Chain A
Amino acid sequence: MNNAAFEIDEAEKRRLLGELLAGRLPDDRGRFGPFGGRFVPEVLVPALDRLEEHARAALADERYHAELASLQRNWVGRPTPLCQAPRLSELWGADIWLKREELAHTGAHKINNALGQALIAKRMGAKRVVAETGAGQHGVASAAACARVGLPCVVYMGAVDVERQQPNVVRMERLGAEVRAVESGDATLRAAIDEALRHWAGDPIDTHYLLGSSVGPHPFPWLVRELQAVIGRETREQMLDQAGRLPDVAIAAVGGGSNAIGFFHGFLADEAVSIVGIEAGGTGAAIGQNAATIATGEPGVLHGSMSLLLQDENGQVQETSSISAGLDYPGVGPEHAFLRLVGRVSYRSITDNEAMEALDACSRMEGILPAVEPSHALAGARTIATERPGATIVVNLCGRGDKDMPILMRHWGQR
């Protein structure tokens, strides 16, 4: 693992992308090129092996898919709609479409993964589930999925996030989950993952760790992608059906990157579709002011995988800043680092203020109040519309803004 692994020529980029499109990545070591892998304490290795075995068996089992499909339809509310955004389109000078993941049960795409993993946990015979959460959406989704399949659920949430996403804490508790506030580290998503991993290490046999993003040790980045890929599959089909064409640009917000990886997978093989991931630019470009990992991070290992990481010269993970709890993470899923390396996806960042302006515009123009996270993607669409006037742009609206009332009140209250 030397720096040469991260600097590859055009031929190697094409070869690696071909491997991905052929369904051969991650490889049997959980690698996407130089990224991914399984960098965990030895005590977690048997649990990861066992999870991979059960997940592969489930995803190859028609009965699993039938049960999942039935619950997706009747309990989650899939397929989620795709709708054109006529007034935003006029305002921004492009043809804007919205994938309405915010209409999924519990208000975000997180339910796709939570339900899929909860069903696997049940098949594995897990006695309980532990999860981490940033914005609270994955925690709520996990609590709901665990209630549905009948498993106790403990959710670790950074103390800072507990405060700024209070409505979701109440929701998790009403759904029967136990929420544990994490005071250690930076008291946000990253510290919550540290604590959930510690919990799992203490009970690796009977506990299933329901990781909510496309991060962490193999098999999580693969499993989460497979469970979120339904977003991209539906969107592609709906675009062809409703717009009669593929989009010019597909765009999604990237924190750890689960909504984006599932959305992007619908379009990776379509060379004519530009794919753009939007990171949290926070309040500025300096270290500590943002969570733009791909823009400014460097290769490193955090939470069990090699990816890009916001770190200092000593390899210490840096604090991040974003108005969005769901994007406030110093790492990024290894497959995103890979897609950037091979050049298939471009990544940009959007500041807190740009995201809040886009949130406001979408609310007023379309009657849809998006979460702060996809508001970053909306702001990215606005920027791209200025560069490519008239382009057909599809945005993954991965969550609704109901949970963000404390943030919205603070943001507009200060004006």
Chain B
Amino acid sequence: MTPESGPDIGAAAIEAAIRSPKAGGPALVAYLTAGFPTRDAFAGLVQEVAGVADVVEIGIPFSDPMADGATIQDASRVALEQGASLGWALDALADAFPSGPPAPLVLMSYLNPLLRFGMERLAERSVAACVSGVIVPDLPYDETDEVAGPLRERGMGVVQMATVVSSAERLRLVGEATSGFLYAVTSLGTTGSGSLDTSGVTRFLDDLRAITQAPVCAGFGIRTPDHVRSLAGHCDGVIVGSALVETIGSGGSAGAFLRSLRIG
């Protein structure tokens, strides 16, 4: 289905951006918490990140981020204290990219802020802000159809997650249902935590690519060029979240950090 406001957004745009990254190696999907470290910094940061990354995840802060580790918990708390919200973030994105973003934008939000905003309203406002899809960490496959209708009707991607503990049947279902890309959760636990077992993960990623038409992006625990190198060839993209938020939090350059992860 063609998105209403042009050909450059929606699930198809996410897939295309991951299949044809801006540089060699796997596509780079970068995560930012909207409103961290300040609301004023958001437009500049998202422009900088979208200029380097192939897809940008915009994290909407939530009071109870149960899938997130300490880094994103803290960033979410700071962003909420600054008054960041879904409505504000959508407005800020529309302002930051008046002629469309240089990389597809994907909202990453827990379910409750989306429900409270209203799914129909979210779909309309997302299209207006050139947002191409959503990732909802507390919305598993079984519950997705009930809430995602308005987003899918507009061609937006609704990204599903696959984990190393999911059954083969479950992986087949999420692989079929996902749109935009399939989010391969490469370590147990929360974002940014634990150590990445790259050798164990490559086989999981290879299996996933066999069961889905969508590109497969690996995320959770990826923070170094070595991680990216070890996963290259087993996935279509890598997702970098906590490590980027840490860089931003310590005053480092988001663009330079992301460029350091380009291995091609």
Q: A313 contacts the other chain (Cβ, under 8 Å)?
A: yes
Q: For window 297-324 of chain A, which residues contact chain B by CB distance below 8 Å?
A: 299-304, 309, 311, 313-317
Segment with Cβ contacts to B, from A200-208, A274-282, A284-292, A366-374 = A200-208
Q: For window 16-62 of chain A, which residues contact chain B by CB distance below 8 Å?
A: 29, 37-43, 45-47
Q: Is the CB of A185 within 8 A of B141?
A: no
Q: Is the CB of B185 within 8 A of A316?
A: no
Q: A197 contacts the other chain (Cβ, under 8 Å)?
A: yes
Q: Is the CB of A317 within 8 A of B63?
A: yes
Q: Is the CB of A302 within 8 A of B112?
A: yes
CA distance A38 to B113 in the complex (A): 17
Contact of A43 among B80, B141, B185 (CB under 8 A): B185
Q: B62 contacts the other chain (Cβ, under 8 Å)?
A: yes
CA distance A203 to B141 in the complex (A): 21
Q: Contact size class for A?
A: 35 or more
Contacts of B63 in A (CB 8 A): 185, 316-317
Q: Is the CB of A43 within 8 A of B112?
A: no
Q: Is the CB of A202 within 8 A of B140?
A: no
CA distance A315 to B188 in the complex (A): 27
6 further interface pairs, Cβ-Cβ under 8 Å (given A41-B161, A45-B141, A303-B64)? A41-B138, A42-B141, A45-B140, A201-B67, A202-B190, A316-B62
Contact of A42 among B62, B110, B174 (CB under 8 A): B174
Q: Is the CB of B188 within 8 A of A300?
A: no
CA distance A41 to B62 in the complex (A): 15
Contacts of B189 in A (CB 8 A): 198, 201-203
Q: Is the CB of B165 within 8 A of A43?
A: yes
Q: Is the CB of A38 within 8 A of B140?
A: yes
Q: B43 contacts the other chain (Cβ, under 8 Å)?
A: no
Q: Is the CB of B64 within 8 A of A39?
A: no
Q: A1 contacts the other chain (Cβ, under 8 Å)?
A: yes
Contacts of A47 in B (CB 8 A): 165
Q: A70 contacts the other chain (Cβ, under 8 Å)?
A: no
CA distance A357 to B248 in the complex (A): 52
Q: Is the CB of A40 within 8 A of B140?
A: yes
Least distance between B192 CB and chain A CB atoms (Å): 11
CA distance A321 to B247 in the complex (A): 36
CA distance A412 to B138 in the complex (A): 44
Query: Which residue among A42, A190, A203 has the maximum number of chain B CB atoms within 10 Å of its CB?
Result: A42
Give 30 A-B contacts (CB < 8 Å), ordered by A residue. A38-B143, A40-B138, A41-B137, A41-B138, A42-B174, A43-B163, A46-B167, A184-B70, A184-B73, A185-B64, A190-B64, A197-B66, A198-B67, A198-B189, A203-B188, A204-B188, A299-B115, A300-B116, A301-B111, A301-B115, A301-B138, A303-B66, A314-B87, A314-B117, A316-B62, A316-B63, A316-B80, A316-B113, A317-B63, A317-B64
CA distance A299 to B142 in the complex (A): 20
Query: Which residue among A43, A47, A202 has the maximum number of chain B CB atoms within 10 Å of its CB?
Result: A43
Q: For window 127-173 of chain B, which residues contact chain A by CB distance below 8 Å?
A: 137-143, 146-147, 160-163, 165-167, 170
Q: Is the CB of B170 within 8 A of A201?
A: no
Contacts of B185 in A (CB 8 A): 42-43
Q: A304-B138, A315-B116 are in contact. Are A46 and B166 (CB under 8 A)?
A: yes
Contacts of A304 in B (CB 8 A): 138
The proximity string for A residues 370-387 relative to B, scoring 1 for CB distances below 8 Å and 0 otherwise, is 000000000000000000
Contacts of B116 in A (CB 8 A): 300, 311, 313-315
Q: Is the CB of B66 within 8 A of A46?
A: no
Q: A39-B138, A184-B73 are in contact. Are A301 and B162 (CB under 8 A)?
A: no
Q: Is the CB of A314 within 8 A of B161?
A: no
Least distance between A213 CB and chain B CB atoms (Å): 16
Q: A41-B161, A197-B66 are in contact. Are A314 and B140 (CB under 8 A)?
A: no
Q: Is the CB of A39 within 8 A of B113?
A: no
Q: Is the CB of A42 within 8 A of B115?
A: no
Q: A42-B161, A300-B115 are in contact. Are A201 and B142 (CB under 8 A)?
A: no
Query: Which residue among A41, A194, A203, A313 has the maximum number of chain B CB atoms within 10 Å of its CB?
Result: A41
CA distance A314 to B86 in the complex (A): 7
The proximity string for B residues 225-264 relative to A, scoring 1 for CB distances below 8 Å and 0 otherwise, is 0000000000000000000000000000000000000000
CA distance A45 to B170 in the complex (A): 10
Q: Is the CB of A46 within 8 A of B170?
A: yes
Q: Is the CB of B64 within 8 A of A37?
A: no
CA distance A143 to B143 in the complex (A): 34
Q: Is the CB of A201 within 8 A of B140?
A: no
Least distance between B189 CB and chain A CB atoms (Å): 3
Q: B194 contacts the other chain (Cβ, under 8 Å)?
A: yes
Q: B114 contacts the other chain (Cβ, under 8 Å)?
A: yes
Q: B193 contacts the other chain (Cβ, under 8 Å)?
A: yes
Q: Is the CB of B188 within 8 A of A42?
A: no
Least distance between B215 CB and chain A CB atoms (Å): 18
CA distance A311 to B146 in the complex (A): 22
CA distance A40 to B65 in the complex (A): 11
Contacts of A315 in B (CB 8 A): 62, 86, 112-117
Contact of B111 among A39, A45, A314 (CB under 8 A): A39
Q: B85 contacts the other chain (Cβ, under 8 Å)?
A: yes
Contacts of B167 in A (CB 8 A): 46
CA distance A315 to B190 in the complex (A): 22
Least distance between A24 CB and chain B CB atoms (Å): 19
Q: A1-B147, A185-B64, A313-B116 are in contact. Are A202 and B193 (CB under 8 A)?
A: yes
Closest 10 CB pairs of A and B: A315-B116, A202-B189, A315-B113, A42-B161, A314-B85, A315-B112, A317-B63, A43-B163, A316-B63, A41-B67
Contact of B113 among A40, A41, A314 (CB under 8 A): A314
Q: Is the CB of A45 within 8 A of B166?
A: yes
Residue on A nearest B162 in the bound complex, by CB: A42
Contacts of B166 in A (CB 8 A): 42, 45-46
Least distance between B186 CB and chain A CB atoms (Å): 11
Residue on B nearest A186 in the bound complex, by CB: B63
Contacts of A40 in B (CB 8 A): 66, 138, 140
Q: For window 104-120 of chain B, which residues contact chain A by CB distance below 8 Å?
A: 110-117
Contacts of A311 in B (CB 8 A): 112, 116
CA distance A148 to B189 in the complex (A): 29
Least distance between A219 CB and chain B CB atoms (Å): 14
Contacts of B170 in A (CB 8 A): 45-46
